């Protein structure tokens, strides 16, 4: 049985659009029943907050083929997940994106609350041999870290291992 989270929502905003255009878009989303959160100038930070959860979780569940509950029950894997989150926060900071100081703790708390059997869509794609989001979710952090000369050893290792696996699919 595959378990997915129920946190789907559109996080959006655009500091370059006029207020009346933004309000019209908000009205359209409301009318369509789309679960959304509007953030004007802060949209980039909010997207990175979400990304700071999705990227490490997708990367590690894909690498290990383990559920989030299994990862959190294994101290070594839990530490690896925490390190991935910390590396991502460093990359965000280098890009000038200010995430909350307790972002890693917040993300780990979310993982703890998810169903024990939950995985990630990227893990399910790897498991079924489908096209994955490896380049967008894992490779992106590695490439951005390189631009800033930041070491991200956990991301680098996970990315290389997953790239090799993807080539055999």
Q: Name the residue ranges covered by the structural domains of the chain.
A: 43-167
Q: What is the pLDDT of residue 7?
A: 54
Q: Under 8 Å CB-to-CB from 24, ≥6 apart: which residues?
A: none
CATH of domain 43-167: 1.10.1040.10
To the nearest 10°, report the CA torsion of 125, 115, 71, 138. Answer: 40
Q: What is the pLDDT of residue 97?
A: 93
* pTM score: 0.82
Half-sphere exposure of 142 (CA within 13 A, CB side): 18
Please identify every stretch of the chain with a pLDDT value under 50, giving residue numbers as ranges.
1-6
Give the rounded distance of the alpha carbon of 158 from its chain centre.
Answer: 14
Which two tokens mark 42?
């802060």
> Which 8-state DSSP code applies to residue 36?
E
Label residues 79-92 b or e (16+ Cβ within 10 Å = b). ebbbbbbebbbbbb
Cα separation, 21 vs 12, whole angstroms: 13
User: What separation in angstroms does the CA of 99 have from each of 96, 111, 147, 156?
Assistant: 9, 18, 19, 22
Cα separation, 122 vs 131, whole angstroms: 9
Give the rounded distance of the alpha carbon of 78 from its chain centre.
Answer: 16
Q: What is the pLDDT of residue 134?
A: 98
**Phi, psi (rounded to 5 degrees) for 118:** -60, 140
Q: What is the pLDDT of residue 41?
A: 64
Helix (H, G, I), strand (E, B) or coil at 47: helix
Cα separation, 89 vs 69, whole angstroms: 23
Cα separation, 74 vs 19, whole angstroms: 48
Q: What is the pLDDT of residue 1?
A: 41
């Amino acid at each position: 049985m595959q378990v997915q989270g129920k946190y789907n929502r559109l996080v959006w905003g655009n500091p370059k659009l006029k207020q009346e255009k933004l309000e019209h878009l908000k009205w359209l989303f409301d009318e369509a029943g789309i679960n959304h959160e509007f953030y004007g100038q802060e949209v980039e930070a909010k997207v990175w907050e979400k990304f700071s959860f999705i990227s490490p979780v997708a990367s590690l569940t894909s690498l290990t083929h383990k559920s989030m509950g299994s990862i959190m029950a294994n101290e070594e894997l839990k530490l690896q997940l925490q390190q991935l989150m910390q590396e991502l926060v460093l990359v965000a900071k280098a890009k000038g994106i200010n995430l909350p100081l307790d972002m890693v703790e917040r993300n780990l708390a979310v993982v703890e609350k998810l169903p024990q059997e939950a995985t990630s869509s990227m893990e399910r794609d790897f498991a079924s041999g489908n096209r994955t989001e490896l380049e967008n979710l894992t490779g992106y952090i590695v490439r951005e870290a390189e631009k800033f000369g930041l070491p991200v050893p956990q991301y680098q290792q996970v990315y290389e291992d997953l790239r090799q696996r993807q080539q055999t699919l």
